[in-house]
Chain A
């Protein structure tokens, strides 16, 4: 069973940066597309970003485009989310998630437990 463990969350000021990591185990990380999905307190799920199995392409929600960068290191079995120019409305639980296919276009089958990001002045 695939396992995903996020880290790097915390409390930060508006306008600052933060990098989230997601360590993947128990599956061949380099053959799957990966996603970040977030959930603001008491709200629904919001897709954030997707990356191909080889890092060859990335997709972003309009709400984060130009501020967030998704990347991966297949040699370390790790997914990243670099978050710059953080805003109050970026406050959420951030989930790392695996796609059912390498190009990230077949939906999410496994989720991590999430890491909390709080943006507060």
Chain B
């Protein structure tokens, strides 16, 4: 199975900060990575698919990049509602695998 190593596992930041979360795949997965946001007690929400395509309705401060094995999610200017947990997912091959998650907390 393809392993997705996500870092950091937690991150403290302030409103207005720029933050970056990374996922590394255990082998080349082209651009088959998606990013999700999960707020406490809620279902995940799709932010980015195919590594860099913004899902409709998602604010433009979210962006994704990468291909092959290294991928990043960037939030350009943190807003209060962005404090949540973020996950990457590889959909290149079964079994699908998620990163371990990054909990973004208010500093």
Interface string of A66-92 (1 = CB under 8 A from B): 000000000000000000000000000
Taking CB atoms and an 8 Å cut-off, the chain A residues in 73-121 that contact chain B are 95, 100, 105-114
Stretch in contact with the other chain, from B20-28, B44-52, B63-71, B72-80: B44-52
Known: A45-B101, A113-B43. A50 touches B87 (CB 8 A): no
Contact present for A59 and B94 (CB under 8 Å): yes
Asked if residues B34 and A45 are in contact (CB atoms below 8 Å), the reply is no
Question: Which of B89, B96, B100 lies in contact with A50, CB distance below 8 A?
Answer: B96
Q: How many A-B residue pairs have CB under 8 A?
A: 57
Whether B46 and A45, one on each chain, are in contact in the complex, defined by CB atoms closer than 8 angstroms, is no
Report chain A residues within 8 Å CB of B50.
107
- Count of chain A residues with Cβ under 8 Å from any Cβ of B? 22
- A interface majority secondary structure: strand
Contacts of A27 in B (CB 8 A): none
Interface residues on B, range: 20 to 34
- Given A107-B32, A107-B91, A112:B98 Cβ within 8 A: no
Contact of B97 with A by CB under 8 A: yes
Give the residues in chain B near A100, CB-CB below 8 Å. Answer: 49
State A36–B80 Cα separation when bound (angstroms): 30
Q: When chains A and B are docked, how far (Å) is the Cα of A82 from the Cα of B32?
A: 29
Q: In the complex, are the beta carbons of B94 and A108 less than 8 A apart?
A: no
- Taking a contact as CB atoms under 8 Å apart, the answer to whether B98 and A45 are in contact is yes
B44 engages A111 (CB within 8 Å): yes
With A61-B95, A95-B43, A100-B49 as contacts: A108 and B89 at CB distance below 8 Å: yes
Question: Is A54 positioned at the interface, with any CB of B under 8 Å from its CB?
Answer: no
Residues of A within 8 A of B (CB): 35, 44-47, 50, 59-62, 95, 100, 105-114
